[in-house]
Amino acid sequence: MSKELSEEGTRDVSAETCVKQKEIKKETRLGMSVKKDDDFGKWYSEVCIRGQLLSYYDVQGCYILKPSAIKVWNLIKAFFDAKIEKMGVEEHTFPLFVTPCALEKEKKHIEGFAPELAWVTKAGESELAVPLAIRPTSETIMYPHFSKEIRSYRDLPLKANQWVNVVRWEVSDPVPFIRSREFLWQEGHTAFATQAEADKEVLHILDLYSDVYEKLFAVPVIKGKKSENEKFSGGNYTTSVEAFIPSTGRGIQAATSHSLGQRFANMFDITFEDKEGHRSNVWQNSWGLSTRSIGVMVMTHGDDKGLVFPPLVAPVQVVVIPVPFIGADTKMIYEACEAVKATLHEAGFRAKEDNRDNYACGWKYSDSEQKGVPLRIEIGPRDLASNQVRMVRRDTGAKVDIPRGDLVERVRDVLGEIQRSLFDAAKTKLDNCIQVVETWDEFMEALSQKKLILAPWCDEVEVEELVKKRTKEETGGAAAKTLCAPLDQPELKDDTLCFASGKKATTWSYWGRSY
């Protein structure tokens, strides 16, 4: 397929050759002002805004999620809901507020979240007798309920999920989607009779998260286990999928699936009677995926022209643009566009026709590129005459003319091809960023080259602390820390030493700066 989509045969359709409409919008500056490689941070904000994903809001760290972002999120939701429904997970909605009393039950948990809690202290003109925190996550909101619902082994497993907003009052600089004070997520909370069942689910969910990223967002991720320092506050162990942003050389925790063990069960008295009449604590997990994922996708695929949506999550998969040359039968061109859109729509594609009469077609091309529409179809007089349409890929810019009769089949093929090729390109980039190191010097060199560092490690809390401290001091930049120990471990020879401590290494771990 891709062979046919070449740069050859390019037709010179710029704004100049198109019919100028009465009112070309002059005031709207189109096109990105910053290049991805020149100033990544600025580029990212601009692509989010110009790509119509979000708008800024007058509370710092809070954003307005626009229809494109919500459509992506709803697509993710539908995919993930179908999967977890099969697992017997049931959707709930728990309250937004949590009492200090519940919060404080699990000491490590509250320690971890206390600095980020937003507190409601007043209602109307009255001070509340007891202040209420807004949920940063819902363990302490849900588990008193679990305690009431679970009595016997017959009530297990209990599997609850909710799609809600949470608030974490981050002090560091907010980044749209990636680090915001309010965000949307799903949080699943489950309870099992046995550790084995719970452990199995942790990894099953991690696979689903990996699918969301790799299959839908076309973003390669690494499945792994977080270090002691980086695990969930109050949990037993945390697994995550980690993405990597080559432009900044930063890792990003993309979703997490936690084993909570029995600690919350113990504090919240979540016990069950087994078949023999013995009472035990349940084994619990919690797992979450947030709108951060949208940001990771944008960072991965976006380019100097704007957003690039992988077809499976694209709010609009195909945009059909009329190219009404002067002297041509404009009406017939518009009708052909309408018909093509209708055919695609009927075949199940998210297709849209851009028939705005106040923009030239060149402007529309740029507009659809900026918004990341994976495939553009142009129909001009020549296409009409030869009963064809022109397809233009967003990712490569490659153009190809196809017969109208093959429309649906060819669109399906090329969208599939775009989805695969975005993933492949990102995977190649990621793989090229991975640097295996064995010594401190190699580590520092790789860090300065913005690499995703894979290093043998002794897995000691103090050593990670030391690495953070040293990298901060020695580079003057942000600290480097563990991202995860990949589940897929390279062979670790018996005499391998930790790159940082010189002690015996017990695991391979990814290291780097992170979001």
Assess 6 for contact with a copy of itself (CB under 8 A): no
- Interatomic CA distance for residues 218 and 488, integer angstroms: 20
Q: Judged by CB under 8 A, does residue 24 bind a copy of itself?
A: no
If one asks whether residue 494 binds a copy of itself (CB under 8 A), the answer comes out as: no
Question: Which of these, 205, 178, 177, lies nearest to 190 by C-alpha position?
Answer: 205
State the Rg of the chain over Cα. Answer: 26
Query: Does 57 contact a copy of itself by CB under 8 A?
Result: yes
Interface residue with a copy of itself, options 1, 91, 108, 326 (CB under 8 A): 91
CB of 134 to a copy of itself, least distance (A): 7
Residue 48 is a binding residue for a copy of itself (CB under 8 A): no
* E-strand stretches of 246-379: 250-261, 271-273, 279-281, 283-290, 318-322, 351-353, 375-379
CB of residue 23 to a copy of itself, shortest distance in Å: 8
Least Å distance, CB 449 to a copy of itself, is 36
Query: Based on CB atoms, which residue is closest to a copy of itself, 79 or 94?
Result: 94
Separation between Cα atoms, residue 308 and residue 295, nearest integer Å = 12
To the nearest whole angstrom, how small is the minimum distance from the Cβ of residue 57 to a copy of itself?
5
Orientation angle between helical segments 440-448 and 461-475, nearest 10 degrees: 50
Can you spell out the DSSP letters for 28-64?
A: ---S-SS-TTT-HHHHHHHHHHHTTSEEE-SSTT-EE
User: Which residues, 6+ apart, have CB-to-CB distance to 84 below 8 Å?
Assistant: 159, 161, 188, 208
Residue 59 binding a copy of itself, by CB under 8 A: yes
Q: Is 276 in the site for a copy of itself (CB under 8 A)?
A: no
Query: 271-273 and 54-56 as β-strands: parallel, antiparallel, unpaired?
Result: unpaired
The binding track of 306-345 with respect to a copy of itself, each residue x by CB under 8 A or -, is ----------------------------------------
CB of 303 to a copy of itself, least distance (A): 26
From 38-46, 87-95, 224-232, 331-339, span contacting a copy of itself (CB under 8 A): 87-95
Q: Which amino acid is at 244?
A: F
Region binding a copy of itself by CB under 8 A among candidate stretches 68-76, 249-257, 452-460, 501-509: 68-76
Nearest alpha carbon to residue 469 among 482, 459, 480, 483: 480
* Distance between CA atoms of residues 225 and 234, nearest Å: 16
| Residue 64 binds a copy of itself (CB under 8 A) | yes
For position 151 contacting a copy of itself by CB under 8 A, the verdict is yes
CB within 8 Å of 246: residues ≥ 6 apart: 429, 430, 432, 433, 450
Phi and psi of 300, rounded to 5°?
A: -70, -50
Number of residues that bind a copy of itself (CB under 8 A): 56
ω into residue 324 within 30 of 0, thus cis? no
Per rule CB under 8 A, is residue 55 in the interface with a copy of itself? yes
Q: Would you call 268 helix, strand, or coil by DSSP?
A: helix
Omega prior to 157 cis, within 30 of 0: yes
- CB closer to a copy of itself, 272 vs 510: 272
- The token duo for 46 is 């601009």
Q: Restricting to residues 159-198, name those near a copy of itself by CB under 8 A.
A: 164-165, 167, 169, 171, 182, 184
Site string for a copy of itself, 110-149 (x = CB under 8 A): ----xxxxxxxxxxxx-----xx-x------x--xx--x-
- Which CB atom, from 146 or from 283, has the smaller least distance to a copy of itself? 146
Q: Which residues bind a copy of itself (CB under 8 A)?
A: 27, 55, 57-59, 62-67, 69-71, 74, 90-97, 99, 101-102, 114-125, 131-132, 134, 141, 144-145, 148, 151, 154, 164-165, 167, 169, 171, 182, 184, 356, 358
